[in-house]
Structure 1
Amino acid sequence: MRPFLLLSTRPEDDAAEGEREAIVRLAGLRPDELVQIRVEAAAVPSLDPTQYAGVFLGGGPFNASDTDKSAVQLRAEADIARVLDVVVARDLPFLGLCYGVGALTAHFGGVVDRSVGEDVGVVTSTLTDEGRADPLFDGIPDRFRAFTAHKEGCRVPAAGATVLATGVACPIQAFRLGRNVYATQFHPELDSAGLAARIRIYRDAGYFDPADTEKLVAFAETSTISDEVHLMMTNFVRIARGR
């Protein structure tokens, strides 16, 4: 059985490992069923996405709307863009987690900006008619709560995108390109412990005032999200495996 691929962009080892562990656990995979490539660490080798059952793109510090991009970010974006070209052209199973929204939207002609960013917190999303009918959201209520934290978002979707979930501050919370290429602005791979860990890791990354770190950790540890949101991870695995 083909493994899944995780493209990570997080330079912090503990954040990258936490992301990998969460995806393995919540997607119901064995550790050897997920191959992780640290895109920020080195140039991506010649990569054939068709060799994998599906591709995850994790979140991280890069933003498509950044105006001053480092050489590392530019190289990582170019590597990811090459993968996205194959994924979309072949309609391969793909799930972008937060950063995937900006990467897909910007690369395929939509508009990404910072007018729809959201602070660290819990967002309520509402499924569209298309979202309710999509297998990615099987078992998920029409309105659900999930963790979020992002500086930018999709203001105008790429041509051909189907909006699957909407929100208030950030109107586009999930979309699909083709039949199998997905991106979510919220984090279906995050539970309370995962968010608390990321808050501590990213205290100086500009998402919030560092002085608020422990207050936000307490918020993460006591917040209630919709447990069903994690079903997106196992649903995506089923989609990718044709079940």
Structure 2
Amino acid sequence: MTWTDLPGDRPFVLLATRAQDGPADEEYALFLRFTGLPPERLRRVRLEREAMPALDLDEVSGILVGGSPFNASDSREKKSAVQLRVEAEMAALLDEVVARDAPFLGACYGVGTLGTHLGATIDGTHAEPISVVEVTLTPEGRVDPLATGLPPSFAAFVGHKEAISSLPSAATLLASSPTCPVQMFRVGRNVYATQFHPELDVDGIVTRIHAYAAFGYFAPDELDLTLTAVRRTPVDAPSRILRTFVERYAR
């Protein structure tokens, strides 16, 4: 299916928070590529630059959230004024999204935002270094519509300082990895979050490794080891989630 075959004309919205233009623009390009959407059907909002606009959920097909250097589990004193604003705006949006069971897919930062909204325990217990990990679908994940076309286990890019260590009963666990028990979950029928990055290819993660080398994801002398780690195993399955999301919810 091509984007011209998709029903309707309502755009999807990508909520982004990356301050660096290089990684931010590449993230948008990757979402365009893997969703198959043209720019006019994927509206990007850079929340680190501007307040979240009023979003009428009846006028959009769905909400996507990209990754972020923000950590939901940091103390309030560690958070910038921008992060606190973004968190408040995301919380207000999720109040409506979850109540209406509106189409939503958050990648990496989506776990922090949606997990916080649900009251999940988010901490550094299951942090994963920037690398490729094996993600395995749960029995519920194998029959979930968003996992259509995915193998039972697949390689995925990760890199996060925090993760959900306790998932509330309101959520359905869809995927795990050996070092991070919550890699993907669903709330209701249409609200999703992944800890891994479905939008990344190897070039995209290499860009982020260089851009965030001083952000504490790895030690200063581990740059080459980190680059080697993400090139070790081919990653091609997770991006199907983005295409399936668009095909399922375009209207």
| Cα deviation code 1:95-142 (max 9, x no counterpart) | 100010111111221111110100010111111111000111111110
Could you tell me which residue of structure 2 aligns to residue 19 of structure 1?
27
Give the whole-Å Cα distance in 1 for the aligned partners of 2:238 and 2:54.
Answer: 34
1:68-83 alignment runs, 5 A limit: 68-83=78-93
Provide the secondary structure at the position in 2 that maps to 1:175: strand
Q: In 2, are the aligned partners of 1:200 and 1:217 still within 8 Å (CA)?
A: no
TM-score in terms of structure 2 length: 0.92
Q: Which amino acid aligns with 2:207?
A: A
Could you tell me which residue of structure 2 aligns to residue 153 of structure 1?
163
Could you tell me which residue of structure 2 aligns to residue 188 of structure 1?
198
Q: Which amino acid aligns with 1:190?
A: L
Give the whole-Å Cα distance in 1 for the aligned partners of 2:110 and 2:132.
Answer: 19
Provide the secondary structure at the position in 1 that maps to 2:221: helix
Q: In 1, are the aligned partners of 2:35 and 2:246 still within 8 Å (CA)?
A: yes
Q: Does structure 1 residue 30 correspond to structure 2 residue 16?
A: no
1:201-212 alignment runs, 5 A limit: 201-212=211-222
Please state how far the C-alpha of 1:194 moved relative to its aligned partner. 0.6
Q: Which amino acid aligns with 1:90?
A: R
Q: Does structure 1 residue 58 correspond to structure 2 residue 81?
A: no
Select the residue among 152, 172, 181 that pairs with 1:171. 181
Q: In 1, are the aligned partners of 2:201 and 2:235 still within 8 Å (CA)?
A: no
Please state how far the C-alpha of 1:71 moved relative to its aligned partner. 1.2
Give the whole-Å Cα distance in 2 for the aligned partners of 1:239 and 1:225.
Answer: 26
Please state how far the C-alpha of 1:223 moved relative to its aligned partner. 2.5
Specify every segment of 5 or more residues in structure 1 that has no aligned partner in the other structure, as ranges: none
Please state how far the C-alpha of 1:16 moved relative to its aligned partner. 1.1
Q: In 2, are the aligned partners of 1:147 and 1:225 still within 8 Å (CA)?
A: no
Give the whole-Å Cα distance in 2 for the aligned partners of 1:225 and 1:130.
Answer: 25
Give the whole-Å Cα distance in 2 for the aligned partners of 1:114 and 1:178.
Answer: 26
Select the residue among 221, 230, 233 that pairs with 2:239. 230
Aligned length: 241
Provide the secondary structure at the position in 1 that maps to 2:158: strand
| Cα deviation code 1:139-189 (max 9, x no counterpart) | 111011101000000111134100000111111110000001010001111
Q: Which amino acid aligns with 1:203?
A: A
Give the whole-Å Cα distance in 2 for the aligned partners of 1:240 and 1:159.
Answer: 25
Provide the secondary structure at the position in 1 that maps to 2:237: helix
Task: Say which is worse superposed, 179-188 or 223-232, in terms of deviation.
Answer: 223-232
Give the whole-Å Cα distance in 2 for the aligned partners of 1:122 and 1:62.
Answer: 21
Q: In 2, are the aligned partners of 1:10 and 1:40 still within 8 Å (CA)?
A: yes
Q: In 1, are the aligned partners of 2:10 and 2:250 still within 8 Å (CA)?
A: no
Please state how far the C-alpha of 1:38 moved relative to its aligned partner. 0.7
Please state how far the C-alpha of 1:228 moved relative to its aligned partner. 2.1
| Cα deviation code 1:65-104 (max 9, x no counterpart) | 0112111111010011111111111111111000101111
Q: In 2, are the aligned partners of 1:26 and 1:234 still within 8 Å (CA)?
A: yes
Select the residue among 130, 133, 137 that pairs with 1:120. 130
Give the whole-Å Cα distance in 2 for the aligned partners of 1:31 and 1:241.
Answer: 14
